[in-house]
A and B are shown apart, each in its own frame.
Chain A
Amino acid sequence: MSDLRDGYIVGTGVFLPGEPVGNDAMEDHLGRIAGRDSLFGKKALRWNGVESRHYAMRPDGSVTHTLAQMSAEAVRTALDAAGLERRDLSMLASAATQGDYLVPGHASAVHAELGAGALEVASFQSVCGSSLMAAKSAWLAVRAGEHDVAAACAGEFSSRWFRPSFYEGTALVDAKGRLRAEADFLRFTLSDGAGAIVVEPKPRPGALKINFIDIVSLADRFDPCMWAGAPVETRADMASAWAHVGPRAAHEAGAMALLQDFELLKKVIRAWVGAYLQKVDEGRIVPAEVDHCLVHYSAKSLRAEIVSLLENTAGMVPEEKWFSVLREVGNVGSASIWVMLDRLVRSRRVQPGQKILCVVPESGRALVGFMMLEAV
């Protein structure tokens, strides 16, 4: 058994499609369900704090980039930033909430776009947390000596799910043409783009050593909180999954759209806080040692009682150390953490020896990932 090697992030890359779309233009871009303005749009925007985002689908429904193209573009940029060529890459792990296809795995589609010869691939599908699943796979491949250059990408093409045709004529829209809140909020929250990292066993100037990636699932306690593929009321019963009734009936039942349960989200947030404090209690995370805190969540939308709870339990990283790009690039699901990291690195704020804590909560079925990086 040979010794484990360290893994370093030596390059980051981001791809955001098209021009930024401001809050005023959003609904024109996505389309209006039954021709009506959204009931929850303004509320959702106040809550999530997003002011601008990118879409890979034009208002007429045509597509500027597939998710595979966006993801491949982010990998190219990350390789470039690392001073590497495509042929140097030997392993690619992908993350997405929804690939372009149902089958096969999304990593195959990204590889097909990327070229780069024969590769090892791994596809991770979850929600935001899939980013760290893919990153852990790439990191462990390097750590174990299986590969010398591994990339992890993550991307979302959410807007295609938000077209009126995804909701109209389904049980999610009432007789007056109003869309259920479980669906409407997400339309104003999620947008498109991709991010990627490249991992190598050798440090370079500016590289970030991965100290750990811990992923905690609490799915044994909670029903699905953000899901697609089952109706709202019966989602906890796997027999209600869309494929059991077929695509047409599932669509009519409102089982195909992306949905989120906000009542349950409150409980899931408490569970995330518990999982985080557990890491603090074990000494795995030492808040005082964190120089930059990247949370896939906006500090603004963290309710005051959660912040005060974190302060009371010696778990809060002071807000001036939080770094977020949510306001200007939107919530890009699994890609968000790489977009944040890329912008942080390029902002030149990171000094050698500094520690970066990345926290990726996933409401899907109560999962949270933690990654600690240390600048070389």
Chain B
Amino acid sequence: MSDAASDVLRKLTIVFTEFEGRLEQTHLIRKLTRGRFELADYQAFLIQLRQQVKDGALWMSRAASNIDEAHLELRSALMRHAVTEHRDFRLLEADFIASGGDATIIRSAEKNVGSEALSAWMFHEASKPNPFGLLGAMWIIEGLGSIKAQEWGRRVKDTLALPDEAVRFLLYHGENDAAHIEEFKDMLAMVLPDDAVAARIVKTAQVTARLYALQIEEILP
């Protein structure tokens, strides 16, 4: 692996661990880890998550459409990601309904301040030519999927005594870590070495992490 990729991965790992620490301090996650989570908290969490998961495949598609011919492999990778994930929000809706929620509520709910900011930021970045910085955003969001989702899912299930059908997105959405990093390294190799791109990837990860945390903070201010 190149030094340039190692440097970016190191900086991204630091951003992620800082991000995880920030999430741990939010009121919502504190309630979850301290066993004080309530059904209303879980449902509010799913509502915000749905918006962001639905947007995920859309900004990836938009990003793919802005990648030039010199980077066809990366364009293909993003398109594959988008196809894999673009229906995941339906699974979230099903979880919401299985937890006793009403489908119309989750489908018509408004994004909170953090979700609005996160969504706007993603589409803004994806609209630029060759938006390679978004690899940093993927690192954060996929890192959540592979590192945090199952842990949260198990806590939710245990605390609220919910059936598996109400926690499927969190429990089964996370893939294994090793594959996630390998695939990410392949994508980095398509755009590095390039100092400006490397810096943009790290910066995009930092902004995405901050806005994602803001989304969680705003669920239970």
Contacts and interface: CB of A to CB of B under 8 A. Distances in A.
Given A263-B151, A305-B178, A312-B181, A222 B24 contact: yes
Contacts of B3: 314
B1 A236 contact: no
Contacts of A218: 21
A313 B9 contact: yes
A267 interface: yes
B178 A308 contact: yes
B97 to A, nearest CB: 29
Interface residues of B, number: 27
Interface in B109-141: none
Contact of B24 (A221, A266, A278, A281): A221
Interface stretch (B10-18, B47-55, B67-75): B10-18
A243 interface: no
A145 interface: no
Interface in B1-36: 1, 3, 6-7, 9-11, 13-14, 16-18, 20-22, 24-25, 30, 33-35
Given A223-B34, A313-B6, A314-B3, A271 B21 contact: yes
B20 A277 contact: no
Given A221-B21, A223-B34, A309 B181 contact: yes
Given A308-B178, A312-B1, A312-B181, A270 B20 contact: yes
Interface string A307-320: 01100111100000
B38 interface: no
B157 interface: no
A273 B181 contact: no
B173 interface: no
B35 A313 contact: no
A277 to B, nearest CB: 5
Interface string A242-269: 0000000000000000000001101100
Contacts of B17: 270-271, 273-275, 277
Q: Which secondary structure dominates where chain B touches chain A?
A: helix
A274 B11 CA distance: 9
A222 B25 CA distance: 7
Nearest to A305: B177
Contacts of A305: 177-178
Contacts of B20: 221, 267, 270-271, 274
B13 A314 contact: no
Do most interface residues of chain A lie in helix, strand or loop, or is the interface mixed?
helix
Contact of A315 (B10, B18, B185): B10
Nearest to A304: B178
Contacts of B16: 274
B22 A274 contact: no
Contacts of B35: 233
A180 to B, nearest CB: 15
Nearest to B3: A314
Nearest to A220: B25
Given A222-B24, A233-B35, A313-B9, A278 B177 contact: no
Given A221-B25, A233-B35, A309-B181, A277 B18 contact: no
Q: Which 5 A-B pairs have the closest CB atoms?
A: A274-B17, A221-B21, A313-B10, A314-B6, A221-B24
24 contacts: A218-B21, A220-B21, A221-B20, A221-B21, A236-B30, A264-B33, A266-B151, A267-B151, A270-B147, A274-B13, A275-B17, A277-B13, A277-B17, A281-B10, A308-B178, A309-B13, A309-B181, A312-B9, A313-B6, A313-B9, A313-B10, A314-B6, A314-B10, A315-B10
Given A270-B17, A277-B17, A313-B10, 5 more contacts: A222-B21, A281-B11, A312-B181, A313-B13, A314-B3
Interface of A: 218, 220-223, 233, 236, 263-264, 266-267, 270-271, 273-275, 277-278, 280-281, 305, 308-309, 312-315
Interface of B: 1, 3, 6-7, 9-11, 13-14, 16-18, 20-22, 24-25, 30, 33-35, 147, 151, 177-178, 181, 185
